[in-house]
C-alpha cells in the first residue's frame, strides 16, 4: 500500500471496507437494515472497475427492482467519477434472464424476438389447454393451474422435473402433463411467461455446458442485493454461474425476508455457506440510517421472532433531539387519513420536503383513503410500485359495471365488462354489436338489445347477452330505491365478478377482493352512485407530475431497500397487520413474516416514524371495534411516545394496559378478517349494537364533523 485511499473508500467502516475489498472468492454480507449493504455492493462495483479487475460489462449485479438498478447505476458513476458505460448486466433477475434468453433463444427452442406474455395472455392460453383436454373449466380453473405452474417455476422445476406426487392436486393428477402441454404451446407461439425468464436460462445452462462456460467466463464478478428474497430458481441460476469462478457477493438480511408467500426462501442464506465452502461471512452492525429510538423500536420488535439467524445492530448517533417513535390512533381509517394528512401539512409548513415523506401500508386497499384525502387537500402524492387505487384492474372493472348501470350509453364501460368474467361472448358477437351500433348510431347496449331478438347471433350467446342486459335493466331500476353501496355489492355479486376473484388462486387475488370491498365501503360516504362516480373521476384526474415534490404512497412490500426522513405506518390493527390471511395460512411462520414486514417498515425511517391505528373499521355499513396490533405491544416503551388521540378525547382504544386488546364484545378479538367481522356483526345480538355512521361521527367530536363537511364540499364543488 502506502498510497492514499481512493475517495470511494473514504468513510466506510472497517467491516464495510473488508466487504468491498474482499473481491475474490464468495462473500456473504449478512446484516441488518440500514447498515450499508447496498452501499457496500455499489462501492464494490466501483472498486472492481476502478482497480481494473473487470470491465463494466463483465460484472453481473442483481437488484430487486428496476428502480433500484437505475439508482445503483447512478451511484456507481458518482463513485467512480464520471459516467460508467456498459453496465449491461445490472438489473433484476427477470431483466437479466430476458437478456440471456434473447441472446441464446434458438438453443431453447425460441426465436430471439420472443414475446413475454402478460397474465391475461397466460390465462387465456392455459384455458385453451384445459379445454383441449376436455376438462371441466369450472372445476379446474385456469387461474389455479397458473398458480401451480408458478410455484414450480419458482422452484426451478421444468415439467419433467416436477415430482409425480405434486401434480395430483390438479385435474386428477394431470397437473404435470398440463404444464408440459403449456410449455409446448408457448414454444409454438414463440413466447415465454414471467417464470420462464428464470427457468429457461437454467435449462439453457444445463443443456448447453459450452454456453454456461461462456457466461461463467464473462461474469468475472457477481453481486446480489436483497439476497434473502431470492427463490430457489434464482439461487440455482446463480449457483450455476458461480460454479467455476465463485467471485460472488450476496448481501441480505434474514429479518427482511418478506416474499415467502411468493416462493422466496430464507434458507438460501444457509445454502450459500454450504455450497460455497470457505465463504467469507461479513457482518455489519452499525446502522447509519435511523435515529436511536427508531432503531431500538425496530430491534425490539423483531426480537420477538424465533426463526432468526441473529444479529446485533447499534448506532452511535447521539442525537438528544431525536424524536421517539410516535404511536397514535384515530377513530377510523377515514380519520386516520385525515390526521396523517394534517401531520404532513404541518411538517411541510416547518420546511420538510414531501419527497422525504412516505406512507407505507400493509394492503393496497388502504391507499384509497389517503388518495381521496390528499386530492381533497391538494397535497401532491405519488403511488410507487403499483397503480393508484382507482386505476387497479379490479377497481376499473367494478367502476365499469357501475357506469354502465347508471349510464347505458357508456360504451367504453359496457365493452370493458361485457365478457368479464368470461361469459362465452366471443369476438364475433361483440363485433356484431359494434357494427350494429355504428350503423344505427345507437349505443352498444342498445344495439345488443336489438340483436338479441334476431337470429344474427348464435342461440347460446344470445341467451347470455339477454341475461346480461336483463341484469343491467334490473340494477338500473333499483338505483332509486336501494342504497347505492348495497346495490353496488349486488352488481358485483350477481354479475359473477366477485366470484371470479374468489375462484382465483393467484397470490394477488385476495388483495383484489379487499380492494373491491374497500371500494364498496367508500361508496357509503356519498349520496348516490352518480356523485360517487363523479368523485372518482375527480381523483383520477388529479395527476401529479413526476418531478413535483410529493408524498410517496406504497405498500410495505414495495418499500424494501428505500429510506425516507419520515415514515407513516397506518393500520396497525389485528387482522390487517398482522394480516389475517398470513395468520390463517402461515401460522407461526406467517406471523413472523408479518413481523419482518413491520421491521422493514420501521427501518425505512431516518428521523421520524409514526405508527397509527384506527380504533374502528366500517364493514358492510357496520362499525367494528378493531384491536390494536400485537406489534404495538412489542415496541419498547422507552422509545415510544403514545399520543393521545385528538378530537376523539382518548377514544383511541388505549385501556388499562398500554394497548388494550379486549374489544367491546368482551372477548379477545383474534379473527377480525373481513368475512368474520361481518359474520360477527350478524350474530352479535348480545353485544352492544354497532354504531351507525352518523353516530360514530358524533362520537369522534365536532371538529371532525366540520372537517368532514369541508372536505365534502371541496370534492362536490369541484
Ligand atoms: P436495507 O437493509 O434497508 O436495504 P442497507 O443495509 O442496504 O439497508 P444502505 O441503504 O446501503 O443500507 O445504507 C443506509 C444508509 O446509510 C444510506 O443512506 C447510506 O448512504 C448510509 N451509509 C451506509 N454506510 C455509511 C457510512 N460508512 N458512512 C455514512 N453513511 C453510510
Ligand atoms: Mg439495501
State the ipTM, two decimals: 0.99
Print burial letters for 543-576: b (CB count within 10 Å at least 16), e (below 16): ebeeeeebbbbbbbbbbbbbbbebbbbbbbbbbb
The reply, when asked if residue 296 is annotated as ligand binding, is: no
- Angstrom CA distances, 553 to 327, 356, 369, 371, 520, stand at 19, 11, 11, 9, 21
In this predicted structure, what is the pLDDT of residue 684?
Answer: 31
From ligand 1's centre to the CA of 57, what distance in Å? 25
Least distant ligand from the CA of 42: 1
DSSP, res 604 = T
Give me the pLDDT at residue 711, please.
23
Q: Report, as an integer, the average pLDDT of 218-227.
A: 95
Per-residue pLDDT, 697: 29
What average pLDDT does this structure show over 185-193? 91
Strand locations in 203-244 (E) = 221-224
Q: What is the DSSP track for 656-671?
A: SSSS--B-TTSSB---
Are 647 and 705 spatial neighbours (Cβ–Cβ below 8 Å)?
Answer: no
Distance of CA 711 to the CA centre of its chain: 29
In sequence order, which ranges of 13-114 are alpha helices (DSSP H)? 14-21, 37-50, 66-80, 93-103
CA–centroid distance, 598 to ligand 2, in Å, is 16
- For residue 397, give the nearest of 382, 412, 381 by alpha carbon: 412
User: Residue 646 pLDDT > 90, yes or no?
Assistant: no
CA 476 to centroid of ligand 1, rounded, Å: 57
List Cβ neighbours of 55 (8 Å cut-off, separation of 6 or more): 49, 86
- Quote the pLDDT of residue 619: 65
Looking at ligand 1, which residue's alpha carbon is closest to its atom 13? 36
Q: Is the bond into 642 cis (omega within 30 degrees of 0)?
A: no
Instruction: Flag whether pLDDT at 331 surpasses 80.
Output: yes
Active site residues: 37-38, 225-226, 256, 604
Cα–ligand 2 centroid distance for 36 (angstroms): 7
* Range of weakest confidence among 189-198, 236-245, 666-675: 666-675
**168-182 pLDDT tens trace:** 778 778 888 899 999
Work out the pLDDT band at 545, boundaries 50, 70, 90. Answer: low
Give Cβ neighbours of residue 12 (< 8 Å, ≥ 6 apart): 20, 36, 40, 43
* Range with lowest mean pLDDT among 84-98, 120-134, 372-386, 653-667: 653-667
The whole-number average pLDDT for the span 660-686 is: 31
232 Cα to the center of ligand 2, angstroms: 21
Three-state DSSP class for 249? strand
Residues with CB in 5 Å of ion ligand 2: 37-38, 561
Is 326 annotated in a binding site? The answer is no
Q: Which pLDDT belongs to residue 569? A: 98
What separation in angstroms does the CA of 620 have from each of 335, 527, 581? Answer: 18, 16, 19
Yes or no: say if 284 and 15 are a contact pair by the CB < 8 Å rule: yes
Angle at 254 between CA 249 and CA 255, to 5 degrees: 140
What is the pLDDT of the chain when averaged over all its residues? 84
Q: At what angle do helices 702-717 and 367-377 cross, to 10 degrees?
A: 70
pLDDT at 680: 32
Query: Which DSSP string corresponds to 435-470?
Result: HHHHHHT--HHHHHHHHTTSSSS-HHHHHHHHHHHH
Identify which ligand lies nearest to the alpha carbon of 36: 1
Contact in structure between 228 and 254 (CB atoms under 8 Å): yes
- Say which ligand is closest to the CA of 602: 1
Task: Tell me the ligand closest to 257's alpha carbon.
Answer: 1
DSSP string computed for 507-559: TTHHHHHHHHHHHHHHHTTSSSHHHHHHHHHHHHH-PPPTTS--EEEEETGGG
Sorted by sequence, the CB contacts under 8 Å of residue 233 that are 6+ apart come out as 153, 154, 155, 156, 195, 198, 199, 202
The pLDDT of residue 154 is above 50? yes
Return d(Cα 635, Cα 101) in angstroms, integer: 47
For ligand 1, atom 28, which residue shows the shortest CA distance? 11
Q: Cell 498510497 maps to which residue?
A: 3
- Is 717 one of the annotated binding-site residues? no
Number of Cβ atoms within 10 Å of the Cβ of 42: 24
- Report which ligand 1 atom has the smallest distance to the Cα of 562: 3
Calculate what percentage of the chain has a pLDDT beyond 70: 88
606 DSSP assignment: E
**Per residue in 56-70, pLDDT tens?**
999 999 998 888 998
**Largest pairwise CA distance in the chain:** 92
Is the alpha carbon torsion for 346, 349, 350, 354 positive or negative?
A: positive
38 carries a ligand binding annotation: yes
Q: Which amino acid residue places its CA nearest to atom 24 of ligand 1?
A: 36
The verdict on whether residue 37 carries a ligand-binding annotation is yes
Alpha carbon nearest to ligand 1 atom 2, residue: 33
How does residue 645 score in pLDDT terms, banded at 50, 70 and 90? Answer: low
Q: Contact at 8 Å (CB) between 258 and 265?
A: no
> Looking at residues 237-260, what average pLDDT do you find?
91
Residue 32 CA: which ligand 1 atom is closest?
2
Q: Is the dihedral of CA 382, 383, 389, 391 positive or negative?
A: positive
With beta carbons less than 8 A apart as the criterion, state whether 19 and 44 touch: yes
Q: Which residues have CB under 6 Å of ligand 1?
A: 11-13, 16, 31, 33-39, 253, 256, 288-289, 561, 563, 603
Res. 23: pLDDT tops 90? yes
Question: Would you state the torsion angle of the CA atoms of residues 463, 469, 472, 477, taken in this order, to the nearest 10 degrees?
Answer: -110
Cα(11) to centroid of ligand 1, in Å?
11
Residue 35 annotated as part of some ligand binding site: yes
Q: What are the pLDDT digits (tens) for 35-56?
A: 999 999 999 999 999 999 999 9
Of ligand 1's atoms, which has the minimum distance to the CA of residue 31?
6
| Ligand 1: residue whose CA is nearest its atom 14 | 34
* Residue of 28, 35, 36 with the most ligand 1 atoms within 8 Å of its CB, for mutation: 36
What does the pLDDT average to over 215-240? 94
- Predicted local confidence at residue 272, as pLDDT: 87
Residue 238 has pLDDT above 70, yes or no: yes
Provide mean pLDDT across the span 290-307: 92
The residue contributing the CA closest to ligand 1 atom 9 is 36
Amino acid at each position: 500500500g502506502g498510497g492514499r485511499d481512493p475517495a470511494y473508500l473514504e468513510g466506510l467502516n472497517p467491516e464495510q471496507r473488508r466487504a468491498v475489498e474482499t473481491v475474490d472468492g464468495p462473500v456473504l454480507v449478512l446484516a441488518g437494515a440500514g447498515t450499508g449493504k447496498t452501499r457496500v455492493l455499489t462501492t464494490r462495483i466501483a472498486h472492481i472497475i476502478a482497480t481494473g479487475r473487470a470491465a463494466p460489462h463483465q460484472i453481473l449485479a442483481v437488484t430487486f427492482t428496476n428502480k433500484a438498478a437505475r439508482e445503483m447505476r447512478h451511484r456507481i458513476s458518482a463513485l467512480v467519477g464520471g459516467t460508467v458505460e456498459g453496465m449491461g448486466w445490472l438489473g433484476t433477475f427477470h431483466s437479466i434472464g430476458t437478456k440471456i434468453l434473447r441472446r441464446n433463444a434458438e438453443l431453447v427452442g425460441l426465436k430471439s424476438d420472443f414475446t413475454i406474455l402478460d397474465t391475461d395472455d397466460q390465462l387465456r392460453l392455459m384455458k385453451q389447454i384445459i379445454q383441449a383436454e376436455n376438462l371441466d373449466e369450472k372445476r379446474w380453473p385456469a387461474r389455479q393451474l397458473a398458480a401451480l405452474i408458478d410455484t414450480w417455476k419458482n422452484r426451478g422445476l421444468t415439467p419433467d422435473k416436477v415430482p409425480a406426487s405434486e401434480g395430483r392436486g390438479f385435474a386428477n393428477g394431470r397437473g404435470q402433463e398440463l404444464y408440459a402441454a403449456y410449455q409446448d404451446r408457448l414454444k409454438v407461439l414463440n413466447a415465454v411467461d414471467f417464470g420462464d425468464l428464470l427457468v429457461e436460462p437454467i435449462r439453457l445452462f444445463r443443456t448447453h455446458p459450452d454456453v454456461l462456460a461462456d457466461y461463467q467466463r464473462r461474469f468475472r464478478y457477481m453481486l446480489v442485493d436483497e439476497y434473502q428474497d431470492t427463490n430457489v430458481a434464482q439461487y440455482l441460476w446463480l449457483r450455476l454461474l458461480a460454479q467455476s469462478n465463485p467471485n460472488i457477493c450476496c448481501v441480505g438480511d434474514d429479518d427482511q425476508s418478506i416474499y415467502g408467500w411468493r416462493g422466496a426462501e430464507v434458507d438460501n442464506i444457509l445454502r450459500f455457506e454450504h455450497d460455497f465452502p470457505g465463504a467469507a461471512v461479513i457482518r455489519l452492525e452499525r446502522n447509519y440510517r435511523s435515529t436511536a429510538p427508531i432503531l431500538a423500536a425496530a430491534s425490539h420488535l423483531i426480537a420477538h421472532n424465533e426463526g432468526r439467524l441473529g444479529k446485533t445492530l447499534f448506532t452511535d448517533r447521539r442525537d438528544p433531539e431525536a424524536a421517539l417513535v410516535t404511536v397514535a390512533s384515530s377513530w377510523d381509517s377515514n380519520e386516520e387519513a385525515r390526521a396523517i394528512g394534517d401531520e404532513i401539512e404541518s411538517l411541510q409548513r416547518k420546511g420538510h420536503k414531501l419527497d422525504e415523506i412516505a406512507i407505507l401500508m400493509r394492503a393496497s386497499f388502504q391507499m384509497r383513503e389517503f388518495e381521496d384525502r390528499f386530492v381533497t387537500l391538494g397535497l401532491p402524492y405519488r403511488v410507487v410500485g403499483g397503480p393508484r387505487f382507482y386505476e387497479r384492474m379490479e377497481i376499473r372493472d367494478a367502476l365499469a359495471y357501475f357506469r354502465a348501470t347508471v349510464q347505458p350509453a357508456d360504451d367504453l364501460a359496457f365493452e370493458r365488462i361485457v365478457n368479464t368474467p368470461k361469459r362465452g361472448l366471443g369476438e364475433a358477437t361483440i363485433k356484431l354489436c359494434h357494427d350494429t351500433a355504428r350503423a344505427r348510431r345507437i349505443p352498444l347496449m342498445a344495439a345488443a338489445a336489438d340483436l338479441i331478438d334476431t337470429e344474427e347471433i348464435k342461440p347460446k350467446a344470445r341467451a347470455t347477452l339477454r341475461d346480461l342486459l336483463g341484469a343491467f335493466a334490473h340494477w338500473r331500476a333499483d338505483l332509486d330505491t336501494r342504497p347505492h353501496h348495497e346495490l353496488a355489492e349486488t352488481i358485483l355479486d350477481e354479475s359473477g365478478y366477485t366470484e371470479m376473484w374468489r375462484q382465483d388462486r393467484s397470490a394477488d387475488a385476495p388483495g383484489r377482493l379487499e380492494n373491491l370491498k374497500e371500494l364498496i365501503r367508500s361508496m357509503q360516504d356519498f349520496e348516490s352512485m352518480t356523485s360517487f362516480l363523479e368523485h372518482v373521476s375527480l381523483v383520477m384526474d388529479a395527476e401529479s407530475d413526476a418531478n413535483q415534490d410529493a408524498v410517496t404512497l406504497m405498500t410495505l412490500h414495495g418499500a424494501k431497500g428505500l429510506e425516507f426522513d419520515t415514515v407513516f405506518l397506518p393500520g396497525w390493527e389485528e387482522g390487517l397487520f398482522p394480516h389475517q390471511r398470513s395468520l390463517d395460512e402461515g401460522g407461526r411462520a406467517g406471523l413472523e413474516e408479518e413481523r419482518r414486514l413491520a421491521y422493514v417498515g420501521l427501518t425505512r425511517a431516518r428521523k421520524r416514524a409514526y405508527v397509527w391505528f384506527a380504533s374502528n373499521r366500517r364493514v358492510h355499513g357496520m362499525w367494528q371495534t378493531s384491536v390494536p396490533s400485537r406489534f404495538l405491544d412489542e415496541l419498547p416503551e422507552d422509545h415510544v411516545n403514545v399520543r393521545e388521540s385528538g378530537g376523539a378525547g382518548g377514544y383511541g382504544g388505549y385501556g388499562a394496559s398500554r394497548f388494550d386488546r379486549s374489544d367491546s364484545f368482551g372477548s379477545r378479538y383474534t379473527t377480525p378478517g373481513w368475512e368474520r367481522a361481518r359474520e360477527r356483526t350478524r350474530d352479535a345480538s348480545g353485544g352492544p349494537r354497532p354504531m351507525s355512521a352518523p353516530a360514530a361521527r358524533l362520537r369522534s367530536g365536532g371538529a371532525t364533523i366540520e372537517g368532514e363537511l369541508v372536505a365534502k364540499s371541496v370534492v362536490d364543488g369541484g
